[in-house]
Amino acid sequence: MRGKKILVTGGTGQVARPVAEALAADNEVWCLGRFGDPAAREALEEAGARTARWDMATDDLAGLPRDFTHVLHSAVHRGDGKDFQETARVNAVSTARLMTHCSAAEAFLYVSSGVVYDRADRNHRYRESDPLGGAAPWLPTYPIAKITAEGVARGLAETLALPTVIARLNIAYGPYGHGGVPMILFRQMRDGQACAVPREGQNYCNLLHTDDVVRQVPLLWDGAGVPARVVNWGGDEEVGMTDLLEYMSALTGVPVRLDRGDFSRETAIFDHTARRALIGDCSVDWKPGIARTLAELFEEYRERIGAYADAHPAGPSQ
């Protein structure tokens, strides 16, 4: 992808930052965000991206160019877990502002989440046509943030004739930001905290490495349409969360304490039919991806991780 003018929101986040840094080499990239981490903003600018402060809860887009060819909207106001009205308002209004401001764009990508799905059995493979109405006991306002913005994106895609794709993200991870849910869990392990898992069985997800995120964003833009296209976005492999915890322990030597009970952070696995038809397969298997991410973010374990990975090479994807 070359010679395009790209607007990215949530520029320091797990998804947006690596995309912005990669695309800035051959395109004019603008990143919007609150930039609470000055180092992340500096890294974006060193990569060639322009940055501008934007609080999606309060700021309009006055002074921002309108001639962007592509938009990646990954910023989200997750809410405080209690104020559903404000969470819905902020995400709806900010998405509407972006789409109307950039109505002449070639493609608009909204990054949603698998949290929007009405919860089913943990072994259910969610399809894009499944019922919505997600629940997130760990942050109850989060699903409404995504569902509300999805509705706005659908409506304005047709009203503005703006080609749009809504990508429902599974669990992204990699050496950016906090590293994603796997690295959050590893920090719990390192701090001696127990990790909550189901009393029986385990939760499953489709881990997506940021290398695949970077490669697939232009493909998602290519698949945008009117009406808006909706697609699940996750890795090819179905990964057990307990298996993930135990693998990170084996790599690093950090013990994992499993707190088996009735409450754990639920995850989801996707049906990949629509995603594979649109953008193809992923390239990073989860075990090498996790080993590489841990080694990059936690230098003190790098030598041990390398030795373990060499002695236990990961097999092909299942």
Q: Kindly report the number of other CB atoms within 10 A of residue 12's CB atom.
A: 23
Radius of gyration of the chain (CA): 19
pLDDT above 50 for 317? no
Listed in sequence order, the residues at least 6 apart from 84 whose beta carbon sits closer than 8 Å to its beta carbon are: 140, 141, 144
Which residues, including other chains, have CB under 8 Å from residue 137's CB and lie 6 or more apart? 263
List the structure tokens of 245.
């915890």
Is the pLDDT reported for residue 201 higher than 70? Answer: yes
Which of the four pLDDT bands, split at 50, 70 and 90, describes residue 13?
confident
- Give yes or no for a contact between 81 and 72, defined as CB atoms under 8 angstroms apart: no
pTM of model > 0.75: yes
> According to CATH, what is the number of the domain 181-205+237-267+283-311?
3.90.25
Render pLDDT for 122-149 as a digit per residue (tens, 0 to 9): 899 999 999 998 778 778 899 999 999 9
Residue 318 is predicted with a pLDDT of 43
Helix (H, G, I), strand (E, B) or coil at 290: helix
Residue 5, pLDDT above cutoff 70 = yes
- Between CA 160 and CA 150 the distance in angstroms is 15
| Residue extents of the structural domains in the chain | 5-173+210-233, 181-205+237-267+283-311
Average pLDDT over residues 201-216: 97
The pLDDT assigned to 315 comes to 60
Q: Which residue has the higher pLDDT, 210 or 121?
A: 210
pLDDT tens digits, one per residue of 274-306: 999 999 999 999 999 999 999 999 999 999 999
Classify domain 5-173+210-233 at the CATH class level: alpha beta
